[in-house]
Amino acid sequence: MKKRRDEMTAAGESISAEELLEAGLGSLTGTSTSATGCVSRPVADEEDSGEISSGQTAGNRAKTHADAEESEESSGSGETGGADEGESESDEAEGTGENENPSGITSGEDESGEETPVPSQKAGNTGKQKTTEQEQGRIPLTQTSSVSNPAGGEVSHNEDYERECDERAAADIERMLDKMAERSACEQLENERLQELNETAQNISYGNIHEGVGILVNRISSVDEELVEQYDQIAGSLLAISKQMQKSLVKQLKESRRGGRMTGLLMGSRLDTHALCRNDGKVFYKNSLPNEIPEMAVGLLLDESGSMSSCDRCTYARATAIILYDFCRGLDIPVMIYGHSTGYDSSNRDTVDLYSYAEFESIDQEDQYRMMDISARGGNRDGAALRFVAEQLSKRPEEIKILMIVSDGQPADTGYGGTAAEEDLRGIRQEYQRKNIIFVAAAIGDDKQNIERIYGDSFMDITDLNQLPAKLTGVVRRHIRV
């Protein structure tokens, strides 16, 4: 169109941009090939579009009208003579075996003449397929340059169709409704439990140092799909560590329950004659009586203060929670996991925010996904959080109660910090040790000195996650006296 405008300007003719554009579009319409069975686009009359000063443009418009009239005559199957013409065109197409398209490109080729993949045709009705809850194989997105151009299709009615008997239809709907009802019931029970937890938190005496500070328990009532996807993305390697821990301990537990003969001892009152050839002196044995393994409950308290965002402390804490939870569940050990930080209520008063990730009795069996919400947040009033979790653990009927703490060893909240806060933590630890709770404080990296200063020798370095299986297994084995 730019070239045409330059030619007309050189010839002394003038044309507006609107007229030039209309003429160009008319030219394109006039040179297109009409397809069989399609109704052509209506063309505006000359008087509606204004006068064209170029003789070439007028010729193009005349050609456009002629093509439109010819197209209407050839495609009007409902008009007189239309059926005969349609049949002759169909016969001609069958004779040649090819169908024209506007671009002149046959199906399976692109504009460069190269073949493009054409989707395979369906092999007919394969019957109804079984519905499942899980995702089946999906077709991945592929880069394509064209789609197939089928011809000869028609609309018809299958008078012989009969339904295929499917007894699963009602059962599938019942299963879906049961799942919806179960999820709704779980969400309601979770909300009721959250209310009970907050009532319990309000009835605990936290001491004068925490007087006037509000306590708020938070818990996700319904797990969303994003948490599930994030957990599935990282669970494989972490659960492998858990399974390694379980394997090393299960064997010892079975042997302790079964009893039997222990050989290869350095000292004893019974000589193993079959071991006299040994050079290491392990030639004694003893008969071990079956032991009933004492029941155990485990609690885990995670520091979620802002300082946990540095050096991946919060990441290590989250990974530890996932591993420990799976480890305890695999050995049927009741486990509770909480996080804590600080915030403000609607009246802008300080609060201790507790985050319930796993409770001893799981309702919806989805606590592992909730732990993906573990994050670095605000401050940390450790004493109030530690007393709440220790109080919950002290109510358990198990003989052995272990409370693990993952923290950076730096209490920090409004009016709560330094040596006074550390003294508060030592007092809580001593109080609940008298209630038979065993404290294990986990230190991450350089925080070891702080943790040791607060909790004495009850600390464990978990900076290297590769060492975590042996260390946690050692803690459990030591306290169940295997």
d(CA 200, CA 291): 37
Domain boundary residue, one of 46, 78, 110: 78
Is the separation of the CB atoms in 286 and 268 below 8 Å? yes
Q: Are both 57 and 205 inside the same structural domain?
A: no
Chain segment 334-392, per-residue pLDDT in tens: 999 999 999 888 888 889 999 999 999 989 999 999 999 999 998 889 999 999 999 99
Q: For residue 90, what pLDDT band results from cuts at 50, 70 and 90?
A: very low
| The one-letter amino acid at 361 | E
State both tokens at 64.
């456009």
Residue 196 has pLDDT above 90, yes or no: yes
**CATH number of the domain encompassing residue 202:** 3.40.50.410
Could you tell me if residue 137 is inside a domain? Answer: no
Q: What is the pLDDT of residue 55?
A: 46
Least Cα distance to 354 among 380, 319, 328 occurs for 380
**Domain check: are 61 and 199 in the same one?**
no
Residue 170 falls inside a structural domain = no
Rounded CA-CA distance 247/252 in Å is 9
CA 348/CA 480 separation, integer angstroms: 46
- Where is the domain boundary, 50, 78, 106? 78
pLDDT at residue number 10 = 83
Helix (H), strand (E) at residue 461: strand 459-461
pLDDT digits (tens, 9 = 90+) for 100-121: 444 444 444 444 444 444 444 4
Confidence of residue 130 (pLDDT cuts 50, 70, 90): confident
In a domain, 160, yes or no: no
Task: Give the strands of the sheet with 270-271, arranged side by side.
Answer: 260-265, 284-288, 270-271
Alpha carbons 35 and 89: distance in angstroms, whole number: 11
Out of 58-67, 197-206, 415-424, which region has the weakest mean confidence (pLDDT)? 58-67
pLDDT, mean of residues 139-160: 86
Co-location of 224 and 367 in the same domain? yes
**Domain span at 55:** 2-78
CA–CA distance, 82 with 37 (Å, rounded to integer): 11
Tokens coding 108: 């399976």
158: amino acid identity, one letter: N
Cα separation of 450 and 410, whole Å?
Answer: 7
Does some domain include residue 333? yes
Give 212-215 contacts, CB < 8 A, sequence gap 24+: 212/349, 212/350, 213/349, 213/350, 213/351, 213/352, 213/381, 213/384, 214/345, 214/349, 214/350, 214/351, 214/352, 215/351, 215/352, 215/354, 215/384, 215/388
Q: What is the mean pLDDT of residues 258-263?
A: 62
Q: Count of domains in the chain? A: 2
Share of the chain above pLDDT 70, in %: 72
> Is 152 contained in some domain?
no
The reply to whether 336 falls in a domain is: yes
284 located within any domain: no
Same domain, 345 and 197: yes
**Contact of 53 with 13, CB cutoff 8 Å:** yes
For every residue of 35-86, DSSP letters joined together read PTT-PPPP---HHHH-----HHHHHHHHHHHHHHHHHHHHH-TTSTTHHHHH
Average pLDDT over residues 24-37: 58
* Domain membership flag for residue 122: no
Q: Of 78, 101, 124, which closes a domain?
A: 78
